Amino acid sequence: MTTPRIEPLESVAYSAARPRPLLSVVVPTFEPCVDRLAHALRSAGAQFGVGGQPAAGAQLAVGGQVELLIVDDGSCDFDPRAFVARLGTGGVGAFEGEHLGMAGNWNRAVSIARGLWVHVLHQDDYLLPGFYDAFFAALGSQQGSGLGAFFCTALFDDYGGGPRLRSPSGQAGPGVLLETRRHVFERLQMQASAVIVRRALYERLGGFDDDFCYVADWDMWKRIARAAPIWHDPRPLACYRRHAKTQTARLGKSELIDEIGSGILRSAAREVGVEAVGVAARAASRTRDAYTLHALESACASIRYQRDPLGALAALRAGFGLHARAGGRTAPRLRASVAVLRAALVLIRRAAPSLH
When pLDDT is averaged across residues 275-288 and rounded to a whole number, the result is 55
The pLDDT value recorded for residue 25 is: 97
**Residues with Cβ within 8 Å of residue 197, at least 6 apart in sequence:** 117, 118, 120, 148, 149, 224
CB atoms within 10 A of CB 18: 7
The pLDDT value recorded for residue 277 is: 44
Lowest mean pLDDT among 111-115, 202-206, 242-246, 271-275: 271-275
pLDDT value at 109 more than 60:
yes
Q: Among 81, 48, 44, 52, which Cα is nearest to 62's?
A: 48
Tens digit of pLDDT for each residue in 47-91?
987 644 444 444 455 555 899 999 999 999 999 999 999 987 778
When pLDDT is averaged across residues 106-125 and rounded to a whole number, the result is 96
When pLDDT is averaged across residues 182-206 and rounded to a whole number, the result is 88
The pLDDT value recorded for residue 55 is: 44
* C-alpha 221: how far from chain center: 10
* Phi, psi (deg, nearest 5) at residue 46: -65, -25
Tens digit of pLDDT for each residue in 119-130?
999 999 999 999
The pLDDT value recorded for residue 194 is: 96
Q: pLDDT band for 3, please (50, 70, 90 cuts).
A: confident
320/41: higher pLDDT? 41
The pLDDT value recorded for residue 51 is: 46
The pLDDT value recorded for residue 214 is: 73
Q: Which residues pair with 238 in a beta bridge?
A: 127, 154
Count the residues in the chain.
356
Of the chain, the percentage scoring pLDDT greater than 70 comes to 59
pLDDT value at 275 more than 60:
no
- What 3-state DSSP class applies to 228? coil
pTM of the model: 0.78
Q: Which residues pair with 153 in a beta bridge?
A: 236
147/257: higher pLDDT? 147
- What 3-state DSSP class applies to 5? coil
The pLDDT value recorded for residue 265 is: 62
What gap in Å lies between CA 347 and CA 338, rounded to an integer? 14
Average pLDDT, the chain: 78
Lowest mean pLDDT among 10-14, 144-148, 207-211: 10-14
What gap in Å lies between CA 280 and CA 73, rounded to an integer? 35
The pLDDT value recorded for residue 157 is: 85
The pLDDT value recorded for residue 346 is: 58
CB atoms within 10 A of CB 34: 13
pLDDT value at 40 more than 60:
yes
* Phi, psi (deg, nearest 5) at residue 319: -65, -45
336/2: higher pLDDT? 2
- What 3-state DSSP class applies to 199? helix
Between the CA of residue 82 and those of 35, 97, 128, what are the distances in Å?
A: 14, 15, 26
pLDDT value at 351 more than 80:
no
pLDDT value at 255 more than 80:
no
Of the chain, the percentage scoring pLDDT greater than 90 comes to 44
* Phi, psi (deg, nearest 5) at residue 333: -60, -40
